Amino acid sequence: MRTTLAMPIFIVTLLLNAAGPALAKEKPAPSPLVSAIDRCRQITDPMQRLACYDAAAGALVQATNSGTVAVVDQNEVKKVRHSLFGFSLPKIPFFSGDTTANEAQNQLDTTITKVTALNNGYFRIVIADNNAVWETTDDYASFDPPKLGQKIEIVRGALGNYFLRINGQLGVRGRRVG
């Protein structure tokens, strides 16, 4: 049953990853609210330009106040990307204006805040960084079981793998589940 589900998920992931570079090259169209502000710049008469800016800025502020539009700065985008470390996500327009997109985070150093033993020698580990939940996918025979308060280093490996180095030990494979 598990293999049956894994194949379609694997194919969808491959398709999304293959489409990702093509989607990333296409810059999304600017919001009509931003386009309205840009059009104001073309007006030569100072009074008409000011009236245009007032109307366009008012519409943008109203849209942000109502929640229709959200304005985020690059630091907020970096925080969101950091909080999603360990998840495989398709390219999304939210990150389109981020000039640091190619600076993928490859490692996360934090502490273990909770450990739960699972079946077959696996562990569920909650870390201090965003209360992210990780599970080992190698059994504990290959490492000392994790303990509350220990340092954990999560390193991005090849082909979507992640390695959890607990208290300086050799890394064991793991995956983010929450």
Domains in the chain: boundaries: 26-91, 107-176
Of 69, 130, 129, whose CA–CA distance to 94 is shortest?
69
pLDDT tens-digit map of 86-126: 776 556 555 555 555 555 677 888 888 999 888 888 889 89
Q: What pLDDT digit, counting tens, does each position of 131-163 carry?
A: 889 888 877 666 788 889 989 888 888 777 888
Query: Residue 55 corresponds to which tokens in the numbers above?
Result: 């109307």
Is pTM, for the whole model, over 0.85?
Answer: no
Share of the chain above pLDDT 90, in %: 11
For residue 133, list its beta bridge partners: 126
Residues 169, 153 contacting (CB under 8 angstroms): no
Using DSSP, state whether 131 is helix, strand or coil: coil
Q: What is the DSSP string of 52-93?
A: HHHHHHHHHHHHHHHTS-----HHHHHHHHHHTTT------G
Mean pLDDT of 38-48: 92
Give per-residue pLDDT as tens, 60-70. 889 888 888 87
Calculate the dihedral angle through the C-alpha atoms of 101, 106, 112, 114, rounding to the nearest 10 degrees: 60
Residue 139: both structure tokens together = 């059994």
The neighbouring-strand residues paired with 164 are: 154, 172
